[in-house]
Every structure is written in C-alpha cells, then in structure tokens.
Copies of this chain bind each other. A is one copy, B any other.
C-alpha cells in the first residue's frame, strides 16, 4: 500500500519498466498519425512522439513498421466492423435496419473524417498488397453477414457497396449533403428486390 502511494507520488517514473498498455498506446498513436498524415507520414519517430514513448521502444514492441501498420489496421477494421454489427444487431426489422444503415453513413461524417481517411488508407494498401486484402475481405464479409440478418444476400452485397460509395462521395463533396439523399439510396437498393 505504501508502495502504491509512493508510486503515484513518483508519477510515471516507476511505471517506466512495466507498461503493459504501451503496445496498445502505440497502436492508437499509429492510427492517429495515419489519420493525420497518411501511411506515408507514419514514421517511427512521429508515432513514438505521438504515443509519448522513446524511439527505441517502437522496434522493441513491433518487429518493424510493417507489423505495426498491420496491427493498427487490423484493430481499425475490427473496431469498425464491430460497431457495424452492433448496430445491425440492434435493429429489429428491415425498417429499423434501413434506419441503422442511414445512421452509419451519416455518422461517419460526424466522426470527423477520421474513419473514412483510415478506410481509404487501408483500401489503398489493400489494392496493392494481398496481405492487407485479407483485412478488407474479412471486413466486407462481416458487414454483409450483418446485413443479411435483415436482407437477402444479393441485397446485402449491393447495400454494402452503396454504403461504401456514398460514404466516399459525401466525404469528397464540399457541400454538406442532405440526409434525404442517403435515405433514398437505401430505399432504392432495398425496395427493388
């Protein structure tokens, strides 16, 4: 107990040797840096500074920058996927599922463009490197499976693609798009079966 007090009093000094969250913190910082400066700007130095860890710490926790990137994007894709699934699971019928899809699209923008930027960086890697393709493939499969709780497989695929396309265009559009368009898009895909 006394030790605990002493430790807190000493601030972060005693935590120096054993910092179990550090790996996680680096991954988070990595995603932050990528969101701000792109994969190209995600250097050991910059990520280390963002995470508040010494430079040498980077290659201790991750075999190389590639491993770090891979883990960061894995966590990103998993997080987004989980959020998506959660929303779909919360929907009770096709009607509320449609509303959930609209919410997903609209909220991405609310999240800042952070998630979208990260998604783009991932896509860019994935179109070039098969290793990252596994990530996007799994992501797409989870999304489709989640959508299939409420829609037939073909509709689920098309809806997933529509979400993708409309999210991108909304992000690239300078004037704020109105909600009605999104609603209409979802309607067209899901009603025409």
Contact = CB atoms under 8 A, between A and B. Distances in A.
Interface in A163-192: 163-166, 168-169, 171-174, 181, 184-185, 187-189, 191-192
A173 B138 CA distance: 10
A188 B184 contact: no
A126 B171 CA distance: 9
Interface stretch (A12-20, A84-92, A154-162): A154-162
A22 interface: no
Contact of A120 (B123, B140, B165, B172): B123
Contacts of A166: 158, 161, 165
Residue among A116, A187, A188 with the highest chain B CB neighbour number at 10 A: A188
Nearest to A144: B169
A111 B78 CA distance: 31
A109 to B, nearest CB: 11
Interface residues of A, number: 44
Contact of A124 (B117, B158, B189, B192): B117
B162 A123 contact: no
Contacts of A158: 166, 181, 184-185, 188
Interface of A: 36-40, 113, 116-117, 120-121, 123-128, 133, 136-137, 140, 154, 157-158, 160-166, 168-169, 171-174, 181, 184-185, 187-189, 191-192
